[in-house]
Chain A
Amino acid sequence: AQSVTQLGSHVSVSEGALVLLRCNYSSSVPPYLFWYVQYPNQGLQLLLKYTTGATLVKGINGFEAEFKKSETSFHLTKPSAHMSDAAEYFCAVTLWGNNRLAFGKGNQVVVIP
């Protein structure tokens, strides 16, 4: 069965600093990988996804992630944090033929002025 691991439930970052959220997956077959963001009182919103092809994926709001098969990772980055980036971020995985997303525990990002 597929799964993802996100370490560090709370992440504090200074405004203007690099945002780095780590995600490692476990899968015996090539995965499809996603990052979702959840703002208070709103539904989860897709930031970006990896299916096949280019391993560096660019998403909305300046975020990007790189699929590294050798490291079984899909870390999310943003070069410069904005106050509006304060939210909870979830990494998720699914597989070919499997229609359910398996989510990590999430990272609550706090942006310090």
Chain B
Amino acid sequence: DTGVSQNPRHKITKRGQNVTFRCDPISEHNRLYWYRQTLGQGPEFLTYFQNEAQLEKSRLLSDRFSAERPKGSFSTLEIQRTEQGDSAMYLCASSLGLAEYNEQFFGPGTRLTVL
């Protein structure tokens, strides 16, 4: 069990550019979650997948944000036309099973800085 991995760990981009982050969950975990964490705040839920199906995306911050999980394995989070307000830590988590109280295992995050 190698844990949840995220790449890149850091991303610096200019306003208006598109960025994509990757998350590799723990093998065989069927659920995958994306959160955003800004300075001084706790993580904020964005979206989640059960296998390849995106079951909730209403919390994605705008239509500039999109996520995919092809084949139910790794996931990508894309932000188009980045804005300075998008600067944050983007966290990925995965869990096994269907219960709401199952432990979510978190990756180390991708820190995005938009100049």
Q: A100-B48, A101-B43 are in contact. Are A43 and B100 (CB under 8 A)?
A: no
The interface on chain A, measured as residues whose beta carbon lies within 8 A of the other chain's beta carbons, has a size of 27
A41 within 8 A of B: yes
Q: Is the CB of B106 within 8 A of A44?
A: yes
* Bound Cα distance from A44 to B101, whole angstroms: 16
Determine if A84 is an interface residue (Cβ-Cβ < 8 Å).
no
Contact residues of A with B, CB < 8 Å? 6, 9, 32, 36, 41-46, 49, 51, 90, 92, 94-106
- A49: contacting residue among B43, B55, B101, B106, CB under 8 A: B101
Which 4 pairs between the two chains have the least Cβ-Cβ distance?
Answer: A103-B42, A43-B106, A100-B45, A44-B106
The answer to whether A103 and B44 touch across the interface, beta carbons within 8 angstroms, is yes
A-contacting residues of B (Cβ < 8 Å)? 3-4, 31, 33, 35, 40-45, 48, 55-56, 59, 91, 93, 100-101, 103-109
- Known A-B contacts A43-B105, A43-B106, A43-B109; A99 and B43 likewise in contact (beta carbons under 8 Å): no
Contact at A101–B45, with CB atoms within 8 Å?
Answer: yes
The dominant DSSP class at the A interface is: loop
Cross-interface CB contact of B42 among A45, A98, A99, A105, cutoff 8 Å: A105
Chain B residue with minimal CB distance to A108?
A: B40
Closest Cβ of chain B to A25, distance in Å, is 13
> Do A44 and B48 have beta carbons less than 8 Å apart?
no
22 chain-A/chain-B pairs, Cβ below 8 angstroms: A32-B101, A36-B106, A43-B93, A43-B106, A43-B108, A44-B43, A44-B106, A49-B101, A90-B42, A94-B100, A94-B101, A95-B100, A97-B100, A99-B31, A100-B33, A101-B43, A104-B42, A105-B40, A105-B41, A105-B42, A106-B40, A106-B41
